């Protein structure tokens, strides 16, 4: 059984649509689920919930173990971005995230405040690649997939999301 920290938002009214929001904002999330560094991230996901969606934002870097919240400005100003976040990035990839998505979908299936089995995914930067990978891995479950400022969408890697394009049935 997968145990990963996550933010879960739900609409005020019953009978919600569902979405998994896969966003790299979780890279800047503390293990205690306090949104400290990404201004607007919590408001964005809360806004989605207020529009009638169940929102699940998992911390896909949970494999790296506990880590302190990161302030993006300080990370980039340090001149050693790889040193600051390399261990987090190395803890996941598209294949691991796709496997985790099965657990996230199973979790959503247990909730009584959602309608239907299909979900939407969103992602920023590497989260965009994860969003599209989920769409290609679970075409029967992913109805829509969005990639904002997507990174590594088409590479020589066997894990490149573009290799799954023929399987994607979601609206992209």
| CATH for 38 | 3.40.50.1820
Residue 101 forms part of a structural domain: yes
Name the one residue in this structure whose structure tokens are 């996230």. Answer: 104
- How many Cα atoms sit within 13 Å of 171 on the Cβ side? 5
Residue 142 domain boundaries: 6-167
Predicted pLDDT at 140 = 97
> Residue 148 in contact with residue 124, Cβ under 8 Å?
yes
Cα distances (angstroms) measured from residue 158 to each of 30, 43, 72, 120: 31, 35, 29, 24
What value does the mean pLDDT of the chain take? 81
pLDDT tens, position by position, 14-53 = 655 665 554 433 334 444 444 334 446 667 777 888 887 8
Residue 96 forms part of a structural domain: yes
Q: What are phi and psi for residue 170, nearest 5 degrees?
A: -70, 155
Alpha carbon distance 89, 82 (integer Å): 9
Residue 1 forms part of a structural domain: no
Residue 130 forms part of a structural domain: yes
Predicted pLDDT at 34 = 41
Whole-structure pTM value = 0.83
Which residues, in sequence order, are bridge partners of residue 171? 144
Residue 172 forms part of a structural domain: no
Query: Is residue 56 pLDDT above 70, yes or no?
Result: yes
Residue 148 forms part of a structural domain: yes
Q: How many domains does one find in the chain? A: 1
Residue 47 forms part of a structural domain: yes
Residue 104 forms part of a structural domain: yes
The H or E element that residue 57 is part of is strand 53-58
Residue 88 sits at the vertex; the CA angle it makes with 82 and 89, to the nearest 5 degrees, is: 70
């Amino acid at each position: 059984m997968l145990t990963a920290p996550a933010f879960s938002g739900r609409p005020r009214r019953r009978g919600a649509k569902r979405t998994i929001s896969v966003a790299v904002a979780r890279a800047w999330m503390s293990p205690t689920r306090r949104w400290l560094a990404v201004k607007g991230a919590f408001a964005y996901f809360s806004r989605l919930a207020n529009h009638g969606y169940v929102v699940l934002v998992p911390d896909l870097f949970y494999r790296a173990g506990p880590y302190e919240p990161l302030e993006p400005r300080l990370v980039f100003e340090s001149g050693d971005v790889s040193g600051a976040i390399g261990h987090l990035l190395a803890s996941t990839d598209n294949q691991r995230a796709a496997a985790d998505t099965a657990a996230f979908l199973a979790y959503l299936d247990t909730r009584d405040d959602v309608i239907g089995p299909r979900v939407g995914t969103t992602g920023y930067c590497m989260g965009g690649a994860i969003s599209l990978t989920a769409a290609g891995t679970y075409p029967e479950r992913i109805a829509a997939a969005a990639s904002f400022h997507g990174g590594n969408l088409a590479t020589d890697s066997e894990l490149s999301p573009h290799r799954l394009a023929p399987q994607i049935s979601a609206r992209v």
